Amino acid sequence: MAETYETRGIRRVFLELGGFFKNSLGNFFSLEFLTLFVPLMLLWEFLPRWGILPKSLIPSLSTVAAKFWDMLLHRRLIFHIAYSMGRFFAAFGIAVALAVPIGLFMGWNLKIRAYLLPLWQLLSPIPPPAWVPMTIIFFGIGSKMHIFLMFIGIFYPVLFNTYQGIKDTDPRYLASARVFGASEFTLLRKVYFWHAFGSIIMSLKTGVAMGLVMLLIGESYGGRMGIGYLLGQAKDYFVIPEMMVCMAILGLIGWFLIEILKYVEIKLAVWKVGR
């Protein structure tokens, strides 16, 4: 449906936020999911509590929740999350700002493809964690190193998916735009990009997942802040509830970012929704 919004300003913001939470949290409050989820949570709470599972290895839900509250108050959990996310977004922004245009140009032009594609084909199979030692030598331990590692993780999936989407653009659309007199730049902006839009969003979702992996790997190699650091400390002191809190937070962050991307897709690719 082509929706036309009459509302403007702050009410529009609330409307969009409402739409976002309806789309993202809606899945959780479905009857089907709750019939699975509530028993699972109850099992998690009561199996360790009744001693069916060893309490020391698998702490119950309430223990983990209490630990979360404790970390929030005494371990500056919010600060660690903000720190990790700040670096994550820096890396994500740089990677997307580079990978999407390069992918666009590589898909658009054979000559640019011939120059660049083999380079990425050689570099991309190197597993991102293999970059860690070199990165530590060049950037030392700190923000720069973390950002670079996440960048490596996000860059290639975004680049290749964008490139593939652009390359597969239906030549019929190009032909019809060309007959009307579209310049190459207009083709890129109005035809190639929108044709590849689905795969670009898909690539960003893969990028989020890879970025979180590299976030953990980077932070486990050093630094004094971030969720990965908290997780590493929990491992060193063998505090299982803390590990679980960190895992849950990472899961939530990944879920939230992907929901944001989904919502962006729904909002921008309206023509797909009606289908």
Partner 1 sequence: MIEARSITKFFSVVNEKGLAEGLTAVLNVSLTIPDGKIVTLLGPSGCGKSTFLEILAGLQAPTDGEIRIDGRRVLEPLPSTRKETEAYKRRYRFISPLANGVFRDHPKHDIAMIFQDYAVFPWMTAIQNVNFALKLRNAGRRGLSRAERNERARFCLAQVGLGEVENKYPSQLSGGMRQRLALARALSVEPRIILMDEPFAAVDALTREKLQDDLLKIWAEKQQEAVPLIIVMVTHDVAEAVYLSDEVVVFSPGPGSIRNRIPVPLKRPRPRTDPALMEIQDRIFSLFQYDLNQESEYSI
- Rule CB under 8 A: say whether 237 interacts with partner 1: no
Of positions 89, 197, 255, 263, contacts partner 1 by CB under 8 A: 197
- Rule CB under 8 A: say whether 175 interacts with partner 1: yes
Of positions 58, 98, 177, 260, contacts partner 1 by CB under 8 A: 177
- Rule CB under 8 A: say whether 179 interacts with partner 1: yes
Contact 22, 16 (CB under 8 A): no
Of positions 9, 111, 119, 238, contacts partner 1 by CB under 8 A: 111
Stretch of 61-69, 89-97, 147-155, 264-272 contacting partner 1, by CB under 8 A:
264-272
Q: Which lies closer to partner 1 via its Cβ, residue 119 or residue 175? A: 175
- Rule CB under 8 A: say whether 105 interacts with partner 1: no
Extract the tokens encoding 177: 């735009």
Stretch of 123-131, 148-156, 168-176, 219-227 contacting partner 1, by CB under 8 A:
168-176
Stretch of 23-31, 47-55, 169-177, 217-225 contacting partner 1, by CB under 8 A:
169-177
Of residues 132 through 151, those in contact with partner 1 by CB under 8 A are none
Of positions 185, 236, 237, 238, contacts partner 1 by CB under 8 A: 185
Which residues, including other chains, have CB under 8 Å from residue 146's CB and lie 6 or more apart?
A: 87, 91, 215, 218, 219, 223, 226
CA distance readout (Å), 12 to 5, 8, 117, 257, 269: 8, 5, 43, 22, 19
Number of residues located near partner 1, criterion CB under 8 A: 30
- Rule CB under 8 A: say whether 168 interacts with partner 1: no
Please state, as a whole number, how many other Cβ atoms lie within 10 Å of the Cβ of residue 100.
Answer: 21
Q: What does the binding site for partner 1 look like in residue numbers (CB under 8 A)? A: 2, 4, 109, 111-112, 172-173, 175-186, 190-191, 194-195, 197, 269-272, 274-275
